[in-house]
Amino acid sequence: MLQHIIFWLTQKRWLLFALAVGAVLLLLPVPSSMESMQGETMTDPIKAYRTMIIVIMAIILIIFEPVPLPAVALMMLFLQVILGIDDPNGVAKSFMNDAVFFIMGSLMMAVAIVSQGLDSRLALGIIRFTGNKTWRIAFGFVGISAFLSSFIGEHTVTAMMMPVGLTLIYNTSTDRDATKNLAALILFSIAYGSAMGSIGTPSGGGRNVIMIGYWQEFGLADISYLGWMRYTYPMLLVEIPIAVAILWFTFRPKQKVLDSAVRKLKVQVARRGAMTGQNILAIIVFLIVFLGWVFFSKKMGLGIIALIGVFLYLVLGLIRWSDLNRNTNWGVILLFGAAISIGLQMKETGAALWFANSAIDIMKNLSEDISILRWLIAVLLTGVLTNLLSNSATVAVIGPIVLNMGGDPIVMGFSTAIASAFAYLTVVASPTCMIIHSSGLVQRSDFLKAGWKMFIMSIVILFIMSKFWAVS
Amino acid sequence: MKFLIAVGSKEYSESTLRVGMQIAKSFQAAVTIVYVGPKISDFSLPHVRLAQERMEEWDFDRPGVEVLEWAFNFLAKNDYITSTTIESGFPKNTLVQTDGNRCDVYLQGTISTDVNLILRNGDIISELRDEVARGGFDVTIIGGSQKRRMAHDMIQYIDSSILIVNKYNPDKTYGLLLPVDDSRKTPQAVKYGVRVAQAFGIKVDLLTVSKTNKFGKGYRNAAKRAAKMMRRMGIEYENHFKHGDPAVVIRETAGNDHIIVMGTSTKNPIAKFFMGSKPLQVMESNPCPILIVK
């Protein structure tokens, strides 16, 4: 019995640490900087302070995962009531909104689309587009992954591209040492291409929709689907060739041409047969959803349109509910809902404003130019947290802080949403990284090798874009 | 008897499997071989599963299956599974998902009817602990190339005897070192020692260590009983009585050419957690395989 208790304690040490941190912070007095804000911008410093305590505890629990993530989500919700931040109905209202609908709908649509087996069509598309030179194939993987993920989300694309990439690698050689660099080049082209692409449109990732939701909720802006694309697509197009160059020079493979591997892939794809009516129908449904996003999202919301898409996939028999149920990440939906709820509380209680002011105060020695300073804080904070948490959870928590920092809320919001895609540094940074790592062909250390270059490159391009690319 | 052998990768786990199977044979034990792959975070699990389903459509194995296939080939080469099982090849298609992060396949064994191959994902200690609780294993076997902390946690938290195949060299002739004292785990350790000595056909060095100059009645009786057992089983043995710190004396006597078999510490878990234990010290300081009998 004692042994079980000791084992439980060692396994849950980060849970105990988070609880201890929470308890100590609760016993400490509210920071004087928070008290002094009472009145004009902060309604109740105690509520604001307690909201920050929940955020700190949640971040510890999400990073170290001592308990299942849905449990963290539940904790974020009930603590709001227990600590007197809001009443139960208030918490419930902040938990469910269009961004959560979108995350739910897009995760379910991803399952429906991936199950169609469209990967062999993608394989043919890539080969036609690139030929058999390795660098062109890498370019094709980055380009197509980025393009597709900008519309249907990064995990969906990575899941579909993985078998195509692995087929090319194993067709080249089954000796892992011989294809070590080639495997890294192709798999990172898929993962990083998908991650980069997810900034392209609002439907590229749940975090984009979360940011649009915050803009609307706080009355700061109303960005349309195409309006978003106008801001982000130029950056995506600039990033693609640079990312290919970074990956190529980091993992320069021995094989400069993949002649026989490409030929074998063509034969394998031919054997899988032509596109079925079901495949075509699945694409048509997605196109309907896409057109809905472009033309009706302002009126109907991106989430509701995504749910219509799921409805169509189900009623047309393109996916069974049991498959959808099994492969949809319900826990993550709960967590993102809870993160958005706490994000809204941060704004409501003034905690976001307090954090924004404190961060600027602490870092004011770094630069005299306040606009650069607040931009830098937003991007670095998001970039670092997105590599430790998850990109949507990061935007949900950081969003209200950034939008309270002052400056142009559109530039700040876009910069935060875009920086949350810079999840290149660790395996746990995003499901795309975990998917390629689970192939066993790329090591944990490989992520840092190319990741830090991608991270710096992305920040520099984002800075240039933020400075010179105005949103109309 | 039921043995659980944890393998890490084909590059480093051959000696673990070889020694484990050899000892399992002497016990005529049912054997389960388990490979624990890396933990997949909650954020990514359904996405990774979806990607793996796609890969299976393209005839790519789920990561880790190649380790089980290698284990199958090892068992086949050394006749640990029946010829009909060998002829039908590695039954990849019967690898059944039995839990969220666990799948298994059954083979027909020659030393006992059951040989089971299992694939799991997650934190290795939690997964092995869970597997031991689920399967009621008597002995868990791991390689010594794993992190020291892991061997430590295995001894601390796994509810079975533990064999750590540390720096085993198949070309070397080993002896068996069996430290005995008056603790209640010694008789069980002696029984296990007999089987291991039989499995390898090696001589046993019975070692009684006293911290003082005297050897109490309990110590002398334990040594006597162990010697009687060796004689009865026809195993060549030698009795050693030495003074000093037990962990140091065991290390000096074992050198690098003994397999050590000893009883687990009977200290309470809290004392073990904070102060360590004799088997833990021996395991950490000796470059040889060690079986800690619980």
One-letter identity of residue A381: L
Q: How many CB atoms lie within 10 A of CB B273?
A: 18
Compare all CA atoms of chain A with the CA of B124 and give the residue at the minimum distance. Answer: A11
CB–CB contact B46 A7 (8 Å) = no
How distant, in Å, are the alpha carbons of A123, A124, A169, A266, A268 from that of A272? 12, 11, 19, 10, 7
The CATH 3.40.50.620 portion of chain B extends over: 2-165
* Any B CB within 8 A of A149 CB: no
* Separation CA A67–CA A213 (nearest Å): 29
Cβ distance B286 to B279 under 8 Å? Answer: no
Task: Establish if A170 touches chain B: CB-CB under 8 angstroms.
Answer: yes
Which one of A435, A441, A446 makes the best mutation probe of the B interface by having the most chain B beta carbons within 10 Å? Answer: A435
Q: What is the pLDDT along chain A (472 residues), one digit of tens a residue?
A: 777 888 888 889 999 999 999 999 999 999 888 888 776 667 788 999 999 999 999 999 988 889 988 999 999 999 999 999 999 999 999 999 898 999 999 999 988 998 888 888 888 888 888 888 999 999 999 999 999 999 998 988 999 999 899 999 998 988 888 889 999 999 999 999 999 999 999 999 889 999 999 998 888 888 899 999 999 999 999 999 999 999 999 999 998 988 888 888 888 888 877 788 898 999 999 999 999 999 998 889 899 999 999 999 999 999 999 989 988 889 889 998 999 999 999 988 989 989 988 888 887 777 777 888 889 889 999 999 998 887 888 999 999 999 988 888 999 999 999 999 999 998 888 889 989 988 888 888 899 999 999 999 999 999 998 887 655 4
CATH topology of domain B175-293: Rossmann fold (3.40.50)
- Residue B41 is predicted with a pLDDT of 80
CB of A202 closer than 8 Å to CB of A293: yes
B48/A438 touch (CB, cutoff 8 Å), yes or no: yes
Measure the CA–CA gap between A112 and A318, rounded to whole angstroms: 7
Q: How far B55 CA sits from the closest chain A CA (Å)?
A: 5
Q: Looking at the complex, does the CB of residue A3 fall below 8 Å from at least one CB of chain B?
A: yes
- Closest CA of chain B from A371, distance in Å: 34
Mutate which of B41, B43, B132, B265 to disrupt the A interface (most A C-beta within 10 Å)?
B43
Residue type, A320: R
Q: Report the pLDDT averaged over residues B54-70.
A: 85
The answer for A 339-378 residues in CB contact with B (under 8 A) is none
Of residues B2 and A428, the one with the higher pLDDT is B2
Per-residue pLDDT, A222: 87
Mean pLDDT, chain B, integer: 86
Q: Distances from the Cα of A289 to the Cαs of A100, A229, A300, in angstroms?
A: 17, 16, 12
Q: How far is B216 from chain A (nearest CA, A)?
A: 31
| pLDDT (0 to 100) of residue A472 | 42
Neighbouring residues of A86: CB distance < 8 A, sequence distance ≥ 6? A80, A94, A345
Between positions 4 and 63 of A, the ones with CB within 8 A of B are 6-7, 10-11
Report the predicted TM-score, pTM, of the whole model to 2 decimal places: 0.84
Q: Distance between CA B107 and CA B81 in Å, rounded?
A: 7
> CB of A323 within 8 Å of any CB in chain B?
no
The phi and psi torsions of A40 (rounded to 5 degrees) equal -70, -50
- Crossing angle (nearest 10°) for helices A225-250 and A134-152: 150
Question: What is the longest distance spanned by two Cα atoms in chain A?
Answer: 72
Contact B40 A327 (CB under 8 A): no
Q: What is the DSSP string of A301-326?
A: -HHHHHHHHHHHHHHTTSS-HHHHHH
Q: Are the C-beta atoms of B88 and B107 separated by less than 8 Å?
A: no
Percent of chain B with pLDDT over 70: 96
Per-residue confidence (pLDDT) for residue A274, from 0 to 100 = 79
Among A304, A294, A406, A298, which residue's Cα sits nearest to residue A357? A406
The C-alpha atoms of residue A170 and residue A258 are separated, in whole angstroms, by 11
In chain A, what are the helix, strand and coil shares in percent, each to the nearest 5? 80, 0, 20
Q: Are B104 and B118 in contact (CB under 8 A)?
A: yes
Scanning the structure block, which residue is given the tokens 């049991």? A322
Q: In this structure, are residues A386 and A394 in contact, taking their beta carbons and an 8 Å threshold? A: yes
Burial class (CB in 10 A: 0-12, 13-18, 19+), A27: exposed
Tokens standing for residue A239: 């990033």
Write down the pLDDT at residue B148: 64
| Inter-residue contact A106 to A200 (CB < 8 Å) | no
Q: Convert the pLDDT of each residue in B71-101 to its tens digit.
A: 999 999 988 888 888 888 888 777 777 776 7
Domain ranges, ordered by start, for chain A = 2-94, 98-468
CA distances to A211, A450, B111, B237, B283 from A199, rounded to whole Å, are 12, 20, 59, 73, 52
Q: What is the ipTM of this complex?
A: 0.84
The pLDDT value given to residue A10: 87
Q: How large is the greatest C-alpha to C-alpha distance in chain B, in angstroms?
A: 71
Question: Distance between CA atoms of B276 and B269, rounded to whole angstroms?
Answer: 9
In the predicted structure, residue B273 carries a pLDDT above the cut 80: no
CA angle B126, B130, B133 (to 5 degrees): 140
Note the pLDDT of residue A243.
96
Query: Count of CB contacts below 8 A, A vs B?
Result: 101
A69 closest CB neighbour out of B42, B55, B153: B42
**B147 pLDDT above the threshold of 70:** no
User: Which amino acid is located at B252 in the chain?
Assistant: E
CATH domain B2-165 topology:
Rossmann fold (3.40.50)
- Is A158 in the B-facing interface, judged by CB distances under 8 Å? yes
Render B224-269 in DSSP notation, one character per residue: HHHHHHHHHHT--EEEEEEES-HHHHHHHHHTTSEEEEEEPP-S-H
User: A369: Cβ–Cβ under 8 A, 6 or more apart, which residues?
Assistant: none
- For residues B259, B263, B267 and B272, what is the CA-based torsion angle, rounded to 10 degrees? 30
Question: With an 8 Å Cβ cutoff, is A241 touching chain B?
Answer: no
The verdict on a CB contact (< 8 Å) between A329 and B45 is yes
Q: Contact A327/B63, CB-based, under 8 Å?
A: no
Residues 6+ apart with CB under 8 A from B78: B21
Q: Which residues contact A88 (CB under 8 A, 6 or more apart)?
A: A81
CB contact under 8 A, A327 and B50: yes
